[in-house]
Amino acid sequence: MTFSGFPPSAPRLYADLAADNTREAWRLRHREVYERDVRAPMDELAAELGDAFGEFAGADGVRVLGPVRDTRMSHDKSPYKTYQGAYLDVLPCLGFWVQLDEHGLYASGRYYPYAGDQVTRYRAAVEDEEGGAALAVIVRRLEDQGFAIGGDRLKSRPRGVAADHPRLGLLRHRKIDAGRRYGPGPEVHTARAGEGYPVDPEGGRVNPTLAYVGTMEMFERAGFRRMKMTEAKSDKRHRWVMRRDLT
């Protein structure tokens, strides 16, 4: 099957789940809607994205999460997720995420370390005078382009970091993502084009810390085409808008 969008009943399901997240409601009302209007189109989207990313999707492709929550370590014991997620990792803890919820579709690139030493390396990169400053510029430009910067973060500041550190906001992050929300509305209910904003290595090597956006070669091999060079840079090299039609 070809992905053609999520029907209006898909985001509505998650509004209904927020009101009645019980196993009985799932069995009587939600499960059929979930399997037909959420899981089936998400599987189709995941398959198309896996084909689009080609070898970068690996053997597992784009992985679609199940609907049941793991409540073992949570005070919230509601049994079902209020979103449907799928993800693709191009490197450990680094990749892409898409989710459907009551507010529409959210798509992002993310870095989500779990081990403490991975968070430590991230913060060391942020504190680095050159690399950290470059990352701050990228974040500002992404925000100017309409991306939301999210991810798990500390409410205060990491131990030993000065209160007036110029990149304190980035240092608070334990996980970080840059994403855009689509919908709710007709744009969620039809297949659209996928966009990326990779860096052009210009024949050289890109600092791995700043290459999380991907390279143009990677996107071209996945079927994306060049649209426009932007003023944004990563590791002092220009980034491009690239697009691949999903219809």
Contact of 153 with 126, CB cutoff 8 Å: no
CB-based contacts of 159, cutoff 8 Å, min separation 6? none
Q: Given this model, what pLDDT does residue 77 score?
A: 93
Give how far Cα 230 sits from Cα of 179, 204, 213, 242, Å: 18, 19, 14, 11
Query: Percent of the chain scored above 90 by pLDDT?
Result: 53
Q: Cα(134)–Cα(236) distance, rounded to whole angstroms?
A: 8
3-state secondary structure of 56: helix
Q: Cα(179)–Cα(194) distance, rounded to whole angstroms?
A: 13
CB-based contacts of 179, cutoff 8 Å, min separation 6? 97, 106, 107, 108, 109, 110, 147, 148, 150
Contact of 206 with 112, CB cutoff 8 Å: no
How many Cβ atoms are within 10 Å of 162's Cβ, its own excluded? 9
Going by C-alpha positions, the residue among 82, 113, 84 that lies closest to residue 98 is 84
Q: Given this model, what pLDDT does residue 191 score?
A: 61
**pLDDT one-digit tens code per residue, 117-176:** 999 999 999 999 999 999 999 999 888 888 899 999 999 999 999 999 999 999 999 999
Place of tokens 């007709």: 186
How many Cβ atoms are within 10 Å of 216's Cβ, its own excluded? 20
Q: Given this model, what pLDDT does residue 107 score?
A: 92
**DSSP label at residue 39:** I
**CB-based burial label for 160 (10 Å; 0-12, 13-18, 19+):** exposed
Q: Given this model, what pLDDT does residue 15 score?
A: 93
Q: Cα(198)–Cα(216) distance, rounded to whole angstroms?
A: 5
How many Cβ atoms are within 10 Å of 242's Cβ, its own excluded? 22
- What averages of pLDDT result for each successive group of 10 residues across the chain (247 residues)? 85 94 95 96 92 79 94 92 94 91 92 91 92 92 89 92 94 94 69 71 72 77 81 77 71
Q: Cα(238)–Cα(74) distance, rounded to whole angstroms?
A: 43
Q: Cα(209)–Cα(219) distance, rounded to whole angstroms?
A: 18
Q: Given this model, what pLDDT does residue 5 score?
A: 86
Whether residue 184 is preceded by a cis peptide bond, meaning omega within 30 degrees of 0, is yes
